Amino acid sequence: MLVTGGAGFIGSHVCAALLREGHEVLCVDNFFTGTRENIYHLLDDHRFELLRHDVTFPLYVEADEIYNFACPASPVHYQSDPVQTTKTSVHGAINLLGLAKRTQARILQASTSEVYGDPEVHPQPEDYCGRVDPCSIRACYDEGKRCAETLFFDYNRQYQVQIKVARIFNTYGPHMHPNDGRVVSNFIMQALRDESISVYGDGGQSRSFCYVDDLVEGLTQLMASEPSVTGPINLGNPSEVTVLELAELIIDLTGSRSAIRHFPLPVADPRRRQPVIQRARAELSWEPRTGLKEGLERTIAYFELLEREGFGSR
């Protein structure tokens, strides 16, 4: 099993899950946003191998299945080098699809709910084509992922490569980078430090948060599904919550003295995000099982450990 971006947040959990299933795993990462801390606990497993590599360059290895998570996924990181972000999505997809074609491997693309942009349809089903501004500061990620999906389906039609495309909605849990700028990690770190909680706008914008263990189960089930199940398939939690509600819940769970402070909305920030998951239920028999409170408690415990061990500034 080849997992690109395997030292990242979701990729590291996928590596661990595949090892538990008895597979041999080759983790590929250039450590732009991934960290060695996420995979330290896997290094002693003789079935686990780590390779430092940038997927914008060809990769010459053997694989039976490929999970492609190689791309920075938070605005702070992907906007810091937007050209490289686009190259990672597009050139990376071309290189990995070429590898899948050569080795006859099945390949899964970790796409994103950001392909829907700032949606005019709510909640978002897979047949909604989205509303994305190709010139915005977020387009390097949004359009890069959209182009990667195009490449995946064209390789499937033209070369019969076995593909799986998962559109991942907001996901949280252990191994999130504490400084990635995402709302869950931001709020938890601010709450643990009794700092003001930064809410953008009035906090009425909504998100749907899926715990990482649930997501990984959906991803592995998608990879194991029949060849006719190509996707795209939404994987996320259909329970919608406002950003302000999330902030208040995290303050309560951490026992923080933090106050909520409002800031202007970022440019092109989606107002609402909620998946329709009927396709995942029907084709994968999958739906998330972890409640938001339970998942946040586990995630808070992880960040508390990072703070105690001095990794909060990594």
Give the catalytic positions in this structure.
141
Assess contact for 124 and 169: CB atoms under 8 A.
no
Q: What is the distance between the alpha carbons of residues 277 and 259, in angstroms, rounded to a whole number?
A: 35
Residue 249: both structure tokens together: 């819940």
Strand pairing partners for 28? Answer: 4, 51
Assess contact for 100 and 138: CB atoms under 8 A.
no
Q: What is the distance between the alpha carbons of residues 304 and 124, in angstroms, rounded to a whole number?
A: 34
Residue 20: both structure tokens together: 């538990």
Give, to the nearest 10 degrees, the angle between helix 82-103 and helix 139-159: 20
Closest CA to 183 of 133, 131, 242: 242
| Residues listed for the chain | 314
